[in-house]
Amino acid sequence: MAPMPGTNSDNSSAARLDCLGETREYGLQPLATILTERHISNHQIVEASTEQLTHKMMAKACRGRYLSSKVRQKILRAVNKVTGECFRMGDLFTYH
């Protein structure tokens, strides 16, 4: 049986390419290390956010899946609030 259109038939975790041939996955991000070192969970970040931030967004952010700049800004504000530190975008993400 042929795979359904629009599905990934090999289910591999290789970097996915968008329609322009650019990668949308950037590998483990500094955000994940920062949270691990400070014993902060994704749930704590989501809970502290006053914006529309989801657990799914946090999971994508930590593993390096591309996120829009607006979502990255929401995560930045929530991380700064929880840690009490003043991180910049470049401190949390290796792509822009």
pLDDT tens track for 33-77: 999 999 999 999 999 999 999 999 999 999 999 999 999 999 999
Output the domain CATH number for residue 36: 1.10.260
Report if residue 58 sits inside a domain: yes
Report if residue 73 sits inside a domain: yes
Q: Residue 71 belongs to what domain range?
A: 30-92
pTM over 0.85: no
C-alpha closest to that of 27 among 58, 66, 72: 66
Report if residue 34 sits inside a domain: yes
Q: What is the DSSP string of the chain?
A: -PPPTTS-SS---SPPB-TTS-B-B--S-HHHHHHHHTT--HHHHHHH-SSS--HHHHHHHHHTB---HHHHHHHHHHHHHHH-S---HHHH-S--
